[in-house]
Amino acid sequence: MMDLNFTRRRHELAIAKEINLALTDGINGNSISSIPDVRAKLIDQINLACERHQLDEAAAHRVMGYLDREIDRTTRGAVRANDQVTTINRALEQTMIAGRAS
């Protein structure tokens, strides 16, 4: 017998990932420039997903819990990428400074 909770959870997690991706694409595409714009975009994406997937209130609440985790995961990934770029930039600056001193 198939675990129905697992199937439901997988579906709801996919919806949360869909919302997060749409939000991230909007931010990265520079169509959003301020916190109120991000909030409005997030609300729009949640409403669209709830309508498209015909989520009831309980399912929407569960998706919100998954969405919080998805946004945190994306944020951690962006912070790691930013740290890597910063480290590379520092190394390049040190190389350039050392090259001038020679």
Q: What secondary structure letter does DSSP report for 102?
A: -
Q: What is the per-residue pLDDT across 6-40, written as a single tens digit (0 to 9) for each?
A: 888 999 999 999 998 888 776 666 555 676 777 88
Is residue 34 classed as helix, strand or coil in its secondary structure?
coil
Judge whether residue 102 has pLDDT over 90. no
The total domain count for the chain is: 1
Angle between helices 4-28 and 57-101 in degrees, nearest 10? 50
Pairwise CA distance, residues 37 & 40, whole Å: 5
User: Among the listed ranges 19-28, 38-47, 76-85, which one has the minimum average pLDDT value?
Assistant: 19-28
Rounded percentage of the chain residues whose pLDDT exceeds 90: 39
Pairwise CA distance, residues 95 & 87, whole Å: 12
pTM (predicted TM-score): 0.67
Range of the structural domain that residue 87 is part of: 4-101
Count CB neighbours of 67 within 10 A: 24
Mean pLDDT, residues 69-84 taken together: 89
